[in-house]
Amino acid sequence: MNIKLLNSNIADINADILVEFLTSQELASHVDVRVLQQAGFKAEQDSICFLHEKGILFSGIDSKHSDDIRSATVSAIKALKASSYMSARLSVINNETLSALIEGFVLGGYEFNTYKSQPKEIHLKDIFFASNALDFKVIENTFHDAMIVAKATCFTRDIVNTAPQEMHPQSMVELAKQLAKDNKLGCEILQEKELEEEKMGAMLAVGRASIHGSALIHLSYKPANPKKIISLVGKGLTYDSGGLSLKPATSMVTMKMDKAGACGVLGMIKAASELKLDVEVHAFIGAVENMIGGNAYKPDDVLVSRSGTTIEVRNTDAEGRLVLADVLTYAQDTLKADYLFDFATLTGACMVALGQYTTGVMGHSSKLKHDFSKAGSKSGELISSLPFNRHLKKLLKSEIADISNTASKPYGGAITAGLFLEKFIHEDMKNRWLHFDIAGSAYTENAWDCNVYGGTGAGVRLMSNYLKNI
Ligand code: BES
Ligand code: ZN
Ligand code: ZN
């Protein structure tokens, strides 16, 4: 599917069908109101109606706000893909809603067909956006940037959706190397031997029972005069069986998505480099598989992390925080960044707290949380803050080590996981770090907004927006 922006009048564009957004108010005074009403179309949000004789597809909206435009576009693209039209045209409403249009088409029209031997045939080939606005250059820039971010989001989705027998830690290494080559990024890989030399005892323990070696991936995008230096850390559990604290069979299904933080971080650095942002971005990924076996790490083990902090393992399914503890430490030891952000499908508790659509954000800096809250509403990703407190912190106390990998009480699990990570943040970085729990928002089995079944690419639009406006 090609999407093109043309500097012309919509009437001058040749295409099989015109897409038109309508509010119920606009419907009332529309030339086609009678026939549309006969068809039962009330211009309700996300409802659609074809007028085939006239070559128009109407898509209902409650308002011209980006969120409404995005989801109405998703309804339109789904209807178009199911039709036999080969090309569509529509007018760019304004610069503010243009990204939402692109997200609707690209992300709402996304399919992952790698494993389908006979994917459904789609006739739709071309979508033409028309604008004859005076500030066409501005529109063109928005279009260009939004396409980069949407494609980076699809890149992230593809990796998340790839089956775990194919996307294991070593194939993630190969994929990162390829991205580095394509986008001219710096690339450093630490294999198990180096991880041992670097004393990454917590991360290594998690991956010990896997047949695939664990790896730390470090990609870097370094423009000439960066305004800021940003470190991104991603949880890359290519599979989370739970380890010896084995997950129940039904909870294990979908756990290929436990690498979504890493995949998101890869999409973010891809977008940053293609947008040519003047921000230096580093991506640190812990690529590990959590499995069972005779050499598996176990509840009761005490691990020595890279920082020297000892960790009592009470549940091998709380593995993400162990991997992140070492990768966060490594990232801070290697690089003096202005800000440090980690992305992880860390806890089921985050979904209990916020629902499956919202990313949980944790950290000490109100300013940073506020900046991301703005980036969230601008980019269309839902994020909400989960507050730390000292009472929850005490629940991580261990009788025999410096800290336990699970809290002693079951409530507030997303926050206690965040507080576990906080233990590994250097003093001078405490106000420069945020943790994003994407356990709910990174993967879905039901289509919602511009997300379809599978990986959503959570974090990519959010971070791209933040980095652009830093
Ligand atoms: N990867 C899971 C968290 C998760 C659960 C992500 C469901 C997406 C959907 C994580 O490693 C995990 O298993 N966490 C445990 C922590 C518990 C043992 C303290 C959890 O959330 O149950
Ligand atoms: Zn787990
Ligand atoms: Zn996990």
Catalytic, out of 64, 78, 177, 247: 247
The yes-or-no answer on residue 70 being catalytic is no
Kindly give the number of the ligand 1 atom that is closest to the alpha carbon of 347: 21
Residue 143 domain flag: no
Ligand located closest to 413 CA: 1
CATH number of the structural domain spanning residue 38? 3.40.220.10
Q: Are residues 240 and 105 in the same domain?
A: no
Q: Domain end: 85, 116, 133, which one?
A: 133
Residue 138 domain flag: no
Phi/psi at 232 (nearest 5 deg)?
A: -115, 135
Kindly give the number of the ligand 1 atom that is closest to the alpha carbon of 406: 19
Q: Are residues 250 and 354 in the same domain?
A: yes
Helix, coil or strand: residue 245: coil
Q: How far is the CA of 302 from the centre of ligand 1 (A)?
A: 20
Tokens 């109606």, residue located: 49
* pLDDT at residue 456, as a whole number: 99
* pLDDT at residue 356, as a whole number: 98
Q: Which residue's CA is the nearest one to ligand 1's atom 3?
A: 347
The finding on whether 347 has its CB within 6 A of some atom of ligand 1 is yes
Helix, coil or strand: residue 444: strand
Q: Are residues 81 and 170 in the same domain?
A: no
Which helix H or strand E contains 268, and what residues bound it?
Answer: helix 260-274
Phi/psi at 372 (nearest 5 deg)?
A: -75, -30
Distances (CA, A) of 334 to 264, 323, 327: 21, 17, 10
Residue 112 domain flag: yes
Low-confidence ranges of the chain (pLDDT < 70): none
Q: Would you mind telling me the total number of residues written for the chain in this entry?
A: 470
The finding on whether 345 has its CB within 6 A of some atom of ligand 1 is yes
Q: Are residues 280 and 419 in the same domain?
A: yes
Q: Are strands 443-444 and 454-455 parallel, antiparallel or unpaired?
A: antiparallel
Mutate to test the pocket of ligand 1, among 291, 317, 444, 456 (most ligand atoms within 8 A of CB): 317
Q: How far is the CA of 342 from the centre of ligand 3 (A)?
A: 14
Q: Are residues 250 and 102 in the same domain?
A: no
Ligand located closest to 251 CA: 1
Q: Are residues 345 and 400 in the same domain?
A: yes
* pLDDT at residue 260, as a whole number: 99
Residue 96 domain flag: yes
Give CA–CA dist 231/213, Å, rounded: 24
* pLDDT at residue 438, as a whole number: 99
* pLDDT at residue 309, as a whole number: 99
Task: Give one DSSP letter per residue of 21-78, joined into a string.
Answer: EE-HHHHHT-TTHHHHHHTT----TT-EEEETTTTEEEEE-S-SSHHHHHHHHHHHHH
Q: Are strands 359-362 and 229-240 parallel, antiparallel or unpaired?
A: unpaired
Q: Domain end: 133, 153, 171, which one?
A: 133
**Maximum C-alpha span of the chain:** 76
Q: How far is the CA of 319 from the centre of ligand 2 (A)?
A: 5
Q: Which residue's CA is the nearest one to ligand 1's atom 17?
A: 318
Q: Are residues 342 and 422 in the same domain?
A: yes
Q: How far is the CA of 346 from the centre of ligand 3 (A)?
A: 6
Q: Are residues 18 and 126 in the same domain?
A: yes
The domain containing residue 88 runs over which residues? 2-133
The finding on whether 317 has its CB within 6 A of some atom of ligand 1 is yes
* pLDDT at residue 351, as a whole number: 98
Q: Are strands 359-362 and 433-437 parallel, antiparallel or unpaired?
A: antiparallel
Residue 287 domain flag: yes
Residue 197 domain flag: yes
The finding on whether 319 has its CB within 6 A of some atom of ligand 1 is yes
Q: Are residues 318 and 450 in the same domain?
A: yes
Q: Are residues 388 and 437 in the same domain?
A: yes
CB atoms within 10 A of CB 17: 23
Give CA–CA dist 388/369, Å, rounded: 13
Q: How far is the CA of 377 from the centre of ligand 1 (A)?
A: 27
Q: Are residues 170 and 225 in the same domain?
A: yes
Q: Domain end: 85, 117, 133, which one?
A: 133
The finding on whether 320 has its CB within 6 A of some atom of ligand 1 is yes
| CA-derived radius of gyration, the chain | 23
Question: How do residues 322-361 score in pLDDT, each as one tens digit?
Answer: 999 999 999 999 999 999 999 999 999 999 999 999 999 9
- Cβ pair 288, 169 in contact under 8 A: yes
The finding on whether 261 has its CB within 6 A of some atom of ligand 1 is no
CB atoms within 10 A of CB 358: 20
Which helix H or strand E contains 285, and what residues bound it?
Answer: strand 280-290
* pLDDT at residue 415, as a whole number: 99
Give CA–CA dist 345/255, Å, rounded: 10
Question: How do residues 370-414 score in pLDDT, each as one tens digit?
Answer: 999 999 999 999 999 999 999 999 999 999 999 999 999 999 999
* pLDDT at residue 241, as a whole number: 99
470, exposed or middle or buried, with CB in 10 Å at 0-12, 13-18, 19+? middle
**Alpha carbon 10 to chain centroid, angstroms:** 34
The yes-or-no answer on residue 199 being catalytic is no
Q: Are residues 286 and 384 in the same domain?
A: yes
The finding on whether 349 has its CB within 6 A of some atom of ligand 1 is yes
Catalytic, out of 70, 151, 306, 321: 321
Which helix H or strand E contains 176, and what residues bound it?
Answer: helix 169-183
The finding on whether 348 has its CB within 6 A of some atom of ligand 1 is yes
Phi/psi at 465 (nearest 5 deg)?
A: -65, -45
Q: How far is the CA of 291 from the centre of ligand 3 (A)?
A: 11
Q: How far is the CA of 3 from the centre of ligand 2 (A)?
A: 40
The four Cα atoms 167, 169, 172, 176 give a dihedral, to 10 degrees, of: 180
Q: What is the token pair recorded at 4? A: 């093109």
Q: Which residue's CA is the nearest one to ligand 1's atom 5?
A: 348
Residue 28 domain flag: yes
CATH number of the structural domain spanning residue 416? 3.40.630.10
Q: Which residues pair with 282 in a beta bridge?
A: 220, 231
Residue 80 domain flag: yes
Give CA–CA dist 443/257, Å, rounded: 7
| Tally of domains in the chain | 2
